[in-house]
Amino acid sequence: MTGTNLHQFVNHGQKGHTIMIELDKPFPRLYRSILDSIADGVYTVDLNWRVTSFNKAAEKITGIRNEEAIGRKCFEVLRSNMCEDQCILKQVIEARQTVPNRPIYIYRADQKQIPINMTTGVLKNADNRIIGGVMSFRDLSDINTLHKELQKQHSFEDIISKNREMQKIFSILPQIAQSRSTVLIEGESGTGKELFARAIHNNSFHAKGPFVAVNCSALPDSLFESELFGYKVGAFTDAKKDKPGRFDQAQEGTILLDEIGDISLAVQAKLLRVLEQKVYEPLGSVEPVHTNTRVIAATHNNLYQMVLDGNFREDLYYRINIVRLVLPPLRDRKEDIPSLIDHFIGRFNLLNGKEILGVSQEALAVLMLYDWQGNVRELENTIEHAFVMCRGELIRREHLPGRFLPIGKEVQPPPSLVLKDIEKEAITRALERNQWNKSKTARELGIHKNTLRRKIIRFKISGDQK
Ligand SMILES: Nc1ncnc2c1ncn2[C@@H]1O[C@H](COP(=O)(O)OP(=O)(O)OP(=O)(O)O)[C@@H](O)[C@H]1O
Q: What is the pLDDT of residues 159-217, one digit of tens each?
A: 999 899 999 999 999 999 999 899 999 999 999 999 999 999 999 998 999 999 999 98
Does residue 188's CB lie within 6 angstroms of at least one atom of ligand 1? no
Does residue 160's CB lie within 6 angstroms of at least one atom of ligand 1? yes
Q: What is the whole-number distance in angstroms between the Cα of residue 377 and the centre of ligand 1?
A: 6
What pLDDT score does 272 carry?
93
Give 54's strand partners: 43
| pLDDT reading at 464 higher than 60 | no
Q: State which H helix or E strand residue 9 sits in.
A: strand 8-11
Nearest to 178 by CA among 204, 202, 156, 199: 204
| 179-328 and 331-458: identical CATH topology | no
Ligand 1 nearest-atom number relative to CA 198: 18
Does residue 8's CB lie within 6 angstroms of at least one atom of ligand 1? no
Q: Tell me how far apart the alpha carbons of residues 73 and 401 are, in angstroms, rounded to a whole number.
A: 41
Q: Tell me how far apart the alpha carbons of residues 220 and 267 are, in angstroms, rounded to a whole number.
A: 10
Q: Which residues contact 342 (CB under 8 A, 6 or more apart)?
A: 358
Could you tell me the CA-to-CA distances from 288 to 258, 281, 282 in Å, in that order? 25, 5, 8
Which is more confident, 30 or 92? 92
CATH code at 179-328: 3.40.50.300
Does residue 190's CB lie within 6 angstroms of at least one atom of ligand 1? yes
Amino acid at the residue 199: A
Q: Domain locations in the chain?
A: 8-140, 179-328, 331-458
Q: Tell me how far apart the alpha carbons of residues 18 and 122 are, in angstroms, rounded to a whole number.
A: 6
Which pairing describes strands 358-359 and 394-395: parallel, antiparallel, or unpaired?
parallel
pTM value?
0.60
Mean pLDDT, the chain, integer: 84
413 phi and psi angles, rounded to 5 deg: -75, 150
Q: What is the whole-number distance in angstroms between the Cα of residue 379 and the centre of ligand 1?
A: 10
Q: Three-class SS of residue 156?
A: strand
| pLDDT reading at 3 higher than 50 | no
| pLDDT reading at 453 higher than 80 | yes
Mean pLDDT across 270-298: 91
Q: What is the pLDDT of residues 6-21, one digit of tens each?
A: 333 333 333 444 444 4
If one residue of 156, 159, 194, 198 were mutated to test the ligand 1 pocket, choosing by the most ligand atoms within 8 A of its CB, it would be: 194
CA atoms within 13 A on the CB side of 231: 17
Q: What is the whole-number distance in angstroms between the Cα of residue 300 and the centre of ligand 1?
A: 12
Residue whose Cα lies nearest atom 16 of ligand 1: it is: 192
Q: What is the whole-number distance in angstroms between the Cα of residue 374 and the centre of ligand 1?
A: 10
Q: What is the pLDDT of residues 364-377, one digit of tens each?
A: 999 999 999 999 99
DSSP code at position 83: T
Look at domain 331-458 and name its CATH class.
Answer: mainly alpha
* CA distance from start to end of the chain: 72
Cβ(383)–Cβ(341) below 8 Å: yes
Q: Tell me how far apart the alpha carbons of residues 191 and 299 are, in angstroms, rounded to a whole number.
A: 11
Buried b (16+ CB within 10 A) or exposed e, 433-444: ebeeeeeebbbb
Stretch among 56-65, 337-346, 413-422 having the lowest mean pLDDT: 413-422
Q: What is the pLDDT of residues 94-153, one digit of tens each?
A: 888 888 877 788 888 888 888 888 899 998 888 888 888 999 998 888 776 666 665 566
Ligand 1 nearest-atom number relative to CA 380: 12
Q: Three-class SS of residue 114?
A: strand
C-alpha torsion 442→446→451→453, nearest 10:
-20
Does residue 343's CB lie within 6 angstroms of at least one atom of ligand 1? yes
Q: State which H helix or E strand residue 75 sits in.
A: helix 74-78
What percentage of the chain reaches a pLDDT higher than 90? 45
Widest distance between CA atoms in the chain: 91
Q: Three-class SS of residue 28?
A: coil
Ligand 1 nearest-atom number relative to CA 336: 1
Nearest to 211 by CA among 251, 258, 174: 251
What pLDDT score does 463 carry?
64
If one residue of 188, 198, 377 were mutated to test the ligand 1 pocket, choosing by the most ligand atoms within 8 A of its CB, it would be: 377
- The CATH fold of domain 8-140: Beta-Lactamase (3.30.450)
- Top mean pLDDT of 33-37, 286-290, 303-307 is at 303-307
| pLDDT reading at 154 higher than 80 | no
Q: What is the whole-number distance in angstroms between the Cα of residue 195 and the centre of ligand 1?
A: 6
Q: Tell me how far apart the alpha carbons of residues 343 and 363 are, in angstroms, rounded to a whole number.
A: 16
Which is more confident, 72 or 93? 72
Which is more confident, 90 or 213? 213
Residue whose Cα lies nearest atom 2 of ligand 1: it is: 159
What pLDDT score does 85 carry?
67
Q: Tell me how far apart the alpha carbons of residues 343 and 358 are, in angstroms, rounded to a whole number.
A: 10
If one residue of 155, 191, 259, 299 were mutated to test the ligand 1 pocket, choosing by the most ligand atoms within 8 A of its CB, it would be: 191
If one residue of 155, 341, 376 were mutated to test the ligand 1 pocket, choosing by the most ligand atoms within 8 A of its CB, it would be: 376
Does residue 50's CB lie within 6 angstroms of at least one atom of ligand 1? no
If one residue of 183, 195, 336 were mutated to test the ligand 1 pocket, choosing by the most ligand atoms within 8 A of its CB, it would be: 195
What pLDDT score does 151 carry?
59
Burial class (CB in 10 A: 0-12, 13-18, 19+), 193: buried
Q: Tell me how far apart the alpha carbons of residues 4 and 382 are, in angstroms, rounded to a whole number.
A: 54
Confidence of residue 413 (pLDDT cuts 50, 70, 90): very low
Q: What is the whole-number distance in angstroms between the Cα of residue 157 and the centre of ligand 1?
A: 13
Residue whose Cα lies nearest atom 25 of ligand 1: it is: 189
What pLDDT score does 16 carry?
41
